[in-house]
Amino acid sequence: MLYLAEINKKSGFMGAKTELRLLARKQSEHNWSPVPGEELLPFDASNDYNHGVLVLVEVDTNRNVKNVQDATRQLVGILKNFSRMREKFKTQEEEIEGWKQSLIYQSQELTRREVDMEARAEELQQLELESQKIEQQRSEFEDSRDQILQLKEQLEGDRQQLEEAWGRLQTAQQQLDTAQSASLSDEQVHQVEGLLQRLETELGNGGGADAGMLEQQQTHFNQYWQSLEEDRSQAQQLEDALNQKTRDLDQIWQDWRQTQGTLEEAQLELKLQEKILTVKSESLSFLITQLQAQADIAQALNQVRDGFTGNATVNLQALRSMSVEDLEETVSRLQKELDKLSSFVNDQEEELELQQQTINELESQVEQASEYERLSLTGDLEQEQQQYKLLNETLEGQRKTLQEREGVLHLHQDILRQRQKGKDSRTRQSIEVKLEPILQQLEAEQEEGDQQVQVLKNEIARIQVSIQNAEGTLQPQIAAQQNKRSQIEAQEQELNEQRATVAQRWGRVKTLEDVLQPMQNALDAMRGQGSENGSSGGPPHEAVAELKQVLMALGKVPDLTPVA
């Protein structure tokens, strides 16, 4: 057992007596405890040490002195170590204070980012509400679209009926106009006039026509009747063909309208897909922004937990396996390097501040200078601003390097404190314990957010492909539908012209029948009356007069003076 003791000499009539008064006992390498009370041990080497000298005494278990040596050198070493430890403790206190300030700053930054996250979360909630509104509007839009489609079908049916009625009205109008304007050909009119004059002559002469002449006239009439029947048959064939074309055209119109309705539904669906794409793109952008904010917060918390080292890499395992003495030397070296760099950066900062002051003074002089002096001062101002910009850009990298060096040094110091099992290591562990659940939660939210981002990207890509395919399919169909409509309208115009032709043909048939029938009646009357009843005023004369009125109404026969 090693003790710190004091030489105690006492003089008496029998001579001097030397004893060792034990002062402190060594517990460990750096730990001594005082000896309670006053404990004395006999000591024979009285001539080696003077009274009051401090010595180190090694005592065995039987309280016998085994070895005594001067404690002066040991005490000097202990005092030196004590002074060094005081300086080290002072430095560590300053470092702890720096860490506290850094933690305060990082806590404030974390609070600010939490506020920002809350604001972004509110924005996301608002966006979700808007998305729900859009979804509700989409549902309402689909309901409205179904109602519109039903109304459209009703309107198309009414429109089709209206078009059919309008077509029938136009056909009837054309038939009426054609019938009103229909007339016989010039040759037919001349033949009818010839027959009419012969009939009138025969009746005017008062004689009856013989049977041969009547049969000859009947032969001419039979030819007209045969021609009339041929015209009637051709008109009927044309009308049947026209009716078939009308039915075919109605079916074509119906098919076109059905295709048009399908195209319009596809166009509505395309617009809806484009709206959904816009909403999902906005959601993706906001989610990416939110994930970036979470990543920034996680990075800040990791910096609080591990110490900010910037882009510098620190092998923590090597630091933990390094001896304490080597680690102390490394920390001392890093501190010296940091002091040099900090001094240099501070000098540069002061120079930058002086440069800014010069710029401020020049700006003030430019405002107060005359026009001539302002040109010179403006050049100087631009030069100073350029120098300030270059110096500031240089300092940006130096500031970053200084910050990285500080982070590296703090990390080394923290490892050293942990190795020394100081108070701050427990504080550090407490910080790590508190931050670890937060970091795990942020990591889980980041992974979930990344999955949501990927899902949104896949959905957006799918919708984009769907929109592109729909556009590629719809555009040719729309163009083909427009061309089809033009063709149908051309067919409808051609069909209207054919209706006019058929109406004109039926008008001719009706007109010729209206002309031939009175003449046939007159001829039949002459054949039935006989030659003795040739006086005027009878039925033959009335038939001839009626026929002349018909021809006069057609505007083809001049007004003839009746034969008395």
pLDDT in tens, 466-476: 999 988 998 99
The first and second tokens of residue 17, run together, are 């007596």
CB 353 within 8 A of CB 313: no
CA geometry: angle at 372 spanning 370 and 376, to 5°? 105
| pLDDT of the residue at 469 | 92
* Per-residue pLDDT at 461: 92
Please choose, from the candidates 287, 269, 272, the residue with its C-alpha nearest in 3D space to the C-alpha of residue 128.
287
Q: Mind listing the pLDDT tens digit for each residue in 373-412?
A: 777 788 888 888 888 888 888 888 888 888 888 878 887 8
Average pLDDT over residues 14-24: 78
> Looking at residue 412, what is its pLDDT?
81
Average pLDDT over residues 514-534: 68
C-alpha span between 139 and 133 (Å, rounded): 10
Q: Quote the pLDDT of residue 476.
A: 92
**Spans of all domains in the chain:** 2-81, 91-308+436-564, 309-435
User: Residue 87: what residue type?
Assistant: E
Q: Which two tokens stand for residue 256?
A: 């076109």
Q: Is the pLDDT of residue 306 over 60?
A: no
| Burial bucket for residue 263 (CB in 10 Å: 0-12, 13-18, 19+) | middle
Residues 365-369: what's their mean pLDDT? 84
**Can you read off the two tokens belonging to residue 266?**
């596809």
Q: How confident is the model at residue 479 (pLDDT cuts 50, 70, 90)?
A: very high
Contact, 23 vs 17, CB < 8 A? no
d(CA 437, CA 443): 10
Which residue did the predictor score with more confidence, 242 or 546? 242
> Of the ranges 213-227, 435-449, 519-533, which one carries the lowest mean pLDDT score?
519-533
What separation in angstroms does the CA of 31 have from each of 34, 78, 85, 295, 473? 10, 11, 14, 48, 90
Residue 538 is given by DSSP the state S
pLDDT of residue 530: 53
pLDDT of 256: 92
Q: Is the pLDDT of residue 423 over 50?
A: no
Q: Which amino acid is at 296?
A: D
pLDDT at 12: 61
- Among candidate residues 439, 408, 416, 459, the one with its CA nearest the CA of residue 323: 416
Which token pair is 558?
């001049």
CA-CA distances (angstroms) from residue 54 to 8, 22, 220? Answer: 10, 10, 174
* Residues making up the chain, counted from first to last: 564
Q: Are 4 and 54 in contact (CB under 8 A)?
A: yes
**DSSP code at position 45:** -
Q: Return the pLDDT at 561.
A: 34
